[in-house]
A = this chain, B = another copy of it.
Amino acid sequence: MKPTDAELEILHVLWANGPSTVRQVHEKLSQSRDIGYTTALKFMQIMNEKGILSREEDARSHTYTALVSEEDTQRNLVDRFVETAFRGSASKLVMQVLGQHKASREELDEIKNLLNNLNPDSQDLTD
* Contact surface of A with B, Cβ cutoff 8 Å: 5, 8-9, 12, 74-75, 77-79, 81-82, 84-87, 90-105, 107-108, 110-112, 114-115, 118, 120, 122-127
Contacts and interface: CB of A to CB of B under 8 A. Distances in A.
28 contacts: A8-B84, A12-B87, A74-B86, A75-B96, A77-B85, A78-B100, A78-B101, A81-B81, A90-B101, A90-B103, A91-B101, A91-B104, A93-B97, A94-B103, A95-B110, A98-B111, A98-B114, A98-B115, A101-B126, A102-B123, A102-B126, A103-B126, A104-B124, A104-B126, A104-B127, A107-B127, A108-B115, A108-B123
**Copies in the assembly, this chain:** 2
A98 to B, nearest CB: 6
